[in-house]
Amino acid sequence: MSNAEGAKIASKEKHSAAIASERAASIFKLNILQSHIEDEPNNTTRFLILSDQEIAPSGNDKTSIVVTTKNKPGAIVDLIQPFASRRVSLTKLESRPSKIGMWEYVFFIDVEGHKNNPKVKLSLADLEKKSSFMKFLGSYPKN
């Protein structure tokens, strides 16, 4: 999928939006809600479908979360330990500056499995206790 394809879909789906170029907005007759949203010149795009509906486990799922932790030795180990101890595989661990202070980071984590999987559920509960902030972004089929 491309940004232009996202704009095309958004033009056909009621109550939807897309991140795309001004040219795509013009082609698909979309209203521009905000221009120049990028904050990094070398950014990359990850395509997601956002919904307020929970997705049932498919048997081949991924769960995404965002989490912060205090800037201290071993902080990243504390973030991944709940998953490692239950043999839940991390498929992504990505950090971004939090923009709230020097050396403060936000971590995006993807793990294999649905949030209702017992191992994933227990891992998320442990992580929430250890983190400064945790937000569940969703569980969804990998493909």
CA distance 95 to 137: 16
Phi, psi of 108, deg, nearest 5: -100, 125
CA distance 71 to 68: 9
Which DSSP category does 14 fall into?
Answer: T
Q: Are strands 133-141 and 61-68 parallel, antiparallel or unpaired?
A: antiparallel
Note if 45 is an active site residue. yes
Note if 107 is an active site residue. no
Catalytic residue among 28, 44, 47, 83: 47
Catalytic residue among 28, 44, 45, 107: 45
| E strand or H helix that includes residue 137 | strand 133-141
Q: Could you write out the DSSP letters of every residue in 72-123? A: STTHHHHHHHHHHTTTPPEEEEEEEE-SSSTT-EEEEEEEES-TTSHHHHHH
Catalytic site positions: 45, 47
